[in-house]
Structure 1
Amino acid sequence: INVIGFGYGDAAETLATAQAVKLAVQLDQNTWQGHTSLQLMLKDYEVKQPQVIDWRMPTIDGGQFKASRTYVFFDAKVKQQFERQFSFGGPTTIAAQVQAPLANAVLVDLPKDAAALHQVMQYVQPPVAVMFYGAPSRLVAIPTRAEFGAVLRFLKAHPGFDKHHIPAIAKAVHLTVHQVILAVQVFFQLDFVTIEGAFISPVTAPAKKPLQTAKAYAARTAFLDLAQQLQTMPRAQLETMLLTEHSDSEVES
């Protein structure tokens, strides 16, 4: 049904770009050239503000931190790095330390897992701004099976390898340091290697186990899937996801 509003010309742009609007209307009928139809006469309106404010950007320039809000970090190292680089218009905090209702919050970086996101959403009061920044080193892909094999062959060729020299492995097998660290964690959990102090040694004739069964592998897969969702999901879907986390926590409490 058409809605007709007189005297609202100044609001035209606002109404045209709003994602949701509440209207107060009066039912009326319009007769034109002998044809009568129903129409709604606009009496008042309210633009509904989004419950998730989308500040996601591929890079950080510091301008996003000027607002007078509380900036919530999931990773203490990212918090320290950003506090050195940028000036904040409001306080900063760690998500795990949020234990009371928090308004005007900004979720700055990526949670390590869905549980960490769920925990902080127990206290964050919408509307909430989101950035979900992830350093490229955190978002590097899981090594392929062949790349895992290259790391294991290197360790077999260098028994008692000092883990402090992992960058040497990364250089030799053409992976990032983070990828090699993940590979070593997976090998340790699957009993392919032993770690005594700082020294990594391969296990002779270990039992065959799929790489995917290691907790570190599963956790990394889950993190990358969550990061992909949080960084690329359309704002409306992201809002539904986060508000579900918030409403679920309210039900639990």
Structure 2
Amino acid sequence: MTELVTFPVLKDNYAFLLHDHVSLRTAVVDVADHAPIIAELEKHGWDLTDIWLTHHHWDHIDGLAPLLEACAAKGWHPRVVAAKADMHRLPHTLITDQVEDGDTFMFGDIPVHIINVPGHTVGHIAYHVPSIATLFTADSLMALGCGRLFEGTPAQMWNSLQKLRALPPHTTVCSGHEYTESNAAFAMSIDPENPALQARVRDVKAARAANMPTVPSQLQLEMDTNPFLRADNKDLKSAVGMANASDLDVFTEIRARKDRF
């Protein structure tokens, strides 16, 4: 049995704790700030055994060193997993396990698969836990969006999103930020006749009005409503005036429009 806990850090980041009640291992995905993570662990009475990093941006790694110091004071010595390709710009002396696309490691008796998802950054990875249908995507696939292309190309991001879209539709998608309401406004600006999107926008507004998170989400819901996963959808292509364009050209245009939105 596993338990997933979502909690806010910084202004609009999320961190995730994944706890395996059999092995008693606990992983945290990304470390923007150490204090909320320690507080959440203490609240549940869990020891931290794993830290999984998705990419090198400061708001995903800056809390790593102080978190490890706090762990050492408690007698915890978590392994730190990160992309081998990004060692030159990660705090590499703190990384214990370097991983690449297609690698699998064990979290207790639970396999965790690494998927390269370049686009937001060229070294971004996602963590897929098939046995519990859970995917940690950080700033690649996001709730109703995808990460800004700071380093990668539209082709890289479109390819990454297609890889994630191919996973089982009941997969829980754990993304890194509370951007859903603004992403929803953009999605409605280009796909206003989508009834699934209309319903989701209502749900997102209600959740935010109640100060509730909109993350995680379900992959099927993203497939039905997220314009960045729908660049090959004929209705969306027509909605943006690109009925005969290639899927990549449509994705590129949608991403450019979001950047200007």
Higher normalized contact order (CA 8 Å, seq sep 6+, divided by chain length):
1
- Greater Rg by CA: 1
* TM-score normalised according to structure 2 size: 0.26
* TM-score normalised according to structure 1 size: 0.27
Counting helix residues as a fraction of each chain, which structure ranks higher? 1
